Structure 1
Amino acid sequence: MDVLGEALAGIRIGRAEACSVRQSGAWGWRYPAFPGSGFHLVLSGEAWLVTASAPPRRLGAGDVVFTPWGAEHGLSHAPAPLSGLPRAVRREDLPQPARPDVEFLCGAYWLDHGPVPHYLRSLPEVVAVSPDHGRSPQMRPLMELVRAGLADAGPASEVTRPALLDLVLTHLLRQWVDENAGGLPPWAGDAAIARVLERVHEAPEKPWTVPDLSAVAGLSKTAFTQRFTNAVGQSPMRYLTGQRLHRAARLLRETDLPLASIARRVGYSTEFALSGAFRREYGLAPGRFRAGPAA
């Protein structure tokens, strides 16, 4: 799995919430900052994306707004200052017009424990993407499947909805990455550091050392450590630890593997070593994390 795919998979360990919102007339909502990643998918009609740091952006059907690290933002029927929008309320407290001017999906992955994946923290506060149906013709039927999935309350719907949304976010973020080279993290243009990150994400369980990683980069140990830290914002071993623990968190939530097996899969010699590191990163023991709500 590549760095972007790993990061998107990493947010799935959070509490997933999603709902559809239908609005008519004059409306606007401010979504406060929160610990996690969020998104909006415009299903029909038009809206305006409002942030504190950029001009308002018009959104149309199919457009997706992604907040990689849960930054404050707003949606409105017309351009407006973010500070002037009322705080968003629960869907149950909203009127549901029979003939809405706009309908959009709101979703979030709440990370009650542990940080947002490092790659996502390096992206802009808000990413807005209009799907390129010419280059990605699968997006149109995928959007229709998402719309149908919202109304599906049958068996396995809680499994299929996140899977569909994952596909939408993955396709659109890859498109955004292709179109916005200037907005990528500093390491994205450094082939040596990108190569190291790829190897770490492919096999975090390997007993990597700084000399091992500097050899992958083709640099001396000192030059590699400085270059990696400047580009990524963390030392090589701190980054490796974070990736191992993110992988462990995913395995705890997505599998029933015993802790000893998970420890071996993410590069820890014993379950006790993993437990100590996990508690320091996530603030609770692996067992309690596994028992927590995933949806």
Structure 2
Amino acid sequence: MPVYAVDKPLKRTSHDVVSRARRLLGTRRVGHTGTLDPLASGVLVLCSESSTKLVQFMDSDSKDYLAWISLGAATLTLDAEGPVTETAFATPPGVTEVEAVLRDFIGHQRQIPPQYSALQVGGQRAYAVARAGGALELPARSVVIHDLRLLGVYPSLAAVPPRFAPGEDNVWAPAESGRFFPLPEALGEFPTLVVWARVGSGTYLRSLARDIGERLGMPAHLSGLARTRVGQFQLSGACMLEDLPNAAGIDDLGALELSRLALDARTAKDLRDGKRPDTELQGRYAAVLQDELVAVVDADGHQLRVVRAWH
């Protein structure tokens, strides 16, 4: 079954989208490769039927975002869901100052996740504890931020241009004839940065907004977010959720951004039977027989380890 890129609507959870996709596709076997918060929109990759096996190999893909960061107010959720917990008078910072701060975040970082997240500690979900008025001790995690570009500094969220379009290397920027991005209702009149971000798996843009504000010396929250790319899946190629039954999708092999390992019929059978033939290969591969996906394997230079085989 195909893999689909869906344009997740604002104010719908990723679970909402999966539930609707199950009804539209007529199957219970639908999963996604990376959660989007309810107040975020954009690319959500869905795998259906046997393609759900691919989720574990795609959730590490890098991702691109447009992020609206409002300065002068912090919230419990770190985004526009609120409520506001702290305010401070904020004037729009200078472009040079913001760009210097953004440069400091590029590369490998230690990032503290939001309390309102699905992370578990001792069997407890962080968001469940937070909603009950508590807080878990969430250790900082290693993340990588590949690139950050400042697209503008504005006196308020309402002053931000409403339309954006991709340019070179799919870096999105304001454009009169671009795509309109709906945003959550603003929590107030706060100076707002618009940032394009390319990040590795596990990076929380809500935490990044908080941390950028701290570096600028003021509270901050993520007032809007749109995901424009997940791996090879671009927002321009994503379908609307209700159009899913008529979408073509991508087959399993095409959905994997892995080097290909061509097999003969005997080796393909061995892999399907769980045998691990010796090899000098190193790395992760999509193992194929006549362009048909047989398995995803790991090789350590001596042995070929089957991660998942297809029958």
Same fold (TM over 0.5): no
Q: Higher helix fraction: Structure 1 or Structure 2?
A: 1
The TM-score, its normalising length taken from structure 2, stands at 0.25
TM value normalised by structure 1: 0.26
Structure in which a larger fraction of residues adopt strand: 2
